[in-house]
Chain A
Amino acid sequence: MVSELSIRICGEAGQGTQTIGQVLSLMCQNAHLRLFAHQDFMSRIRGGNNFFQIRISSRPVYAARSRCEIIVCLDKASPALHASALAADGLLIADQKKFGPVNLPETVPGAILDAPLYDLAMEKGGKDIFVNAVACGMIAGIMELDVSCVEKALRGTFSDKSPEIVDINIACARSGYEFAGRERRNGLYSVEPGDTRERSVVSGSEAVALGAIRAGCKFYSAYPMSPSTGVMNEIAARAKEFDIIVEQAEDEIAAVNMVIGASFAGVRSMTSTSGGGFCLMVEGLSLAGMTETPLVILDAQRPGPATGFPTRTEQADLDFILAAGHGEFGRVIYTPGTVEELYSLTARAFNTAEKFQVPVIIMSDQLLADSVRDIAPLDPGVKIERGLISREASKKVAGYKRYALTENGVSPRAVPSWVADPVYADSDEHNEEGHITEDALMRVRMVEKRYHKRMRLLSQEAVKPVSENIAGAHVILIGCGSVYGVMKEAAHAGGSGRERVGFIHLPQVWPFPAQEMAYLLNDARRIVTVENNAGAQLAKLLRRETGIKVSDSILKYDGRPFTVDELFHQLIA
Chain B
Amino acid sequence: MDTADFKTQDEIAWCPGCGNFGILNAVKKALAQLGKPPQELMLVSGIGQAAKLPHYIKANCFNGLHGRALPVATGIKIANRQLTVLVTTGDGDCYGEGGNHFIHAIRRNIDITVIVHDNQIYGLTKGQASPTTDEGLKTAVQTGGVINAHLSPLTLAIAAGAGFVARGFSRDSESLSGLILAGIRHKGFALIDVLQPCVTFNKKNTHEWYSQRVYQAAAQPDYRPADLVWALTKSLEWGERIPLGVLYQADPPQPDYSGKSGVDALAPLVNLVQP
Smallest CB-CB separation from B56: which chain A residue? A435
The stretch from A54-62, A72-80, A249-257, A554-562 touching chain B is A249-257
Q: Chain B nearest CB: distance from A283 CB in Å?
A: 6
**For this complex, into which size category does the number of interface residues on chain B fall?**
35 or more
Q: Once the chains are docked, how many angstroms separate the CA of A263 from the CA of B47?
A: 20
Which residues in window 254-291 of A have CB below 8 A to B?
Answer: 254-255, 257-269, 283-284, 287, 291
Indicate whether B80 reaches chain A with its CB closer than 8 angstroms.
yes
Q: Chain A nearest CB: distance from B83 CB in Å?
A: 6
Q: Chain B nearest CB: distance from A28 CB in Å?
A: 37
A-B interface, 8 closest residue pairs, ranked by CB to CB distance from nearest:
A261-B75, A265-B79, A257-B71, A216-B273, A258-B75, A261-B72, A262-B75, A267-B79
Instruction: Knowing A219-B79, A265-B83 are in contact, say whether A283-B74 is a contact too (CB < 8 A).
Output: no
**For this complex, into which size category does the number of interface residues on chain A fall?**
35 or more
- Residue contact B100 to A250, C-beta cutoff 8 Å: yes
The stretch from A40-48, A161-169, A340-348, A417-425 touching chain B is A417-425
Which residues in window 418-438 of A have CB below 8 A to B?
Answer: 419-428, 434-436
- Residue contact B76 to A216, C-beta cutoff 8 Å: no
Instruction: Jot down 16 A-B pairs with beta carbons below 8 A, ordered by A.
Output: A216-B272, A219-B75, A219-B269, A243-B272, A258-B72, A258-B78, A261-B76, A287-B68, A291-B62, A384-B273, A387-B275, A415-B270, A416-B42, A422-B38, A424-B60, A424-B61
- Residue contact A257 to B64, C-beta cutoff 8 Å: yes
> Chain A, 214-246, contact with B by CB distance < 8 Å: what is the 0/1 string?
001011010000000000000000001001010
Q: Chain A nearest CB: distance from B243 CB in Å?
A: 30
Q: Once the chains are docked, how many angstroms separate the CA of A531 from the CA of B75?
A: 37
Indicate whether A386 reaches chain B with its CB closer than 8 angstroms.
yes
Q: Once the chains are docked, how many angstroms separate the CA of A428 from the CA of B68?
A: 14
- Residue contact A287 to B65, C-beta cutoff 8 Å: yes
Q: Chain A nearest CB: distance from B186 CB in Å?
A: 21
Smallest CB-CB separation from A267: which chain B residue? B79
Instruction: Knowing A265-B79, A422-B60 are in contact, say whether A427-B273 is a contact too (CB < 8 A).
Output: no
Q: Once the chains are docked, how many angstroms separate the CA of A287 from the CA of B72?
A: 11
- Residue contact B38 to A390, C-beta cutoff 8 Å: no
**Chain B residues within an 8 Å CB radius of A262:** 75-76, 78-79, 269
Smallest CB-CB separation from B271: which chain A residue? A391
- Residue contact A266 to B68, C-beta cutoff 8 Å: no
**Chain B residues within an 8 Å CB radius of A388:** 275
Smallest CB-CB separation from A221: which chain B residue? B75
Smallest CB-CB separation from B8: which chain A residue? A435
Smallest CB-CB separation from A215: which chain B residue? B273
Q: Chain A nearest CB: distance from B1 CB in Å?
A: 14
**Chain B residues within an 8 Å CB radius of A387:** 275
- Residue contact B63 to A254, C-beta cutoff 8 Å: no
**Chain A residues within an 8 Å CB radius of B262:** 240, 245
- Residue contact B39 to A260, C-beta cutoff 8 Å: no
Indicate whether A247 reaches chain B with its CB closer than 8 angstroms.
yes
Instruction: Knowing A257-B71, A260-B72, A261-B73 are in contact, say whether A245-B64 is a contact too (CB < 8 A).
Output: no
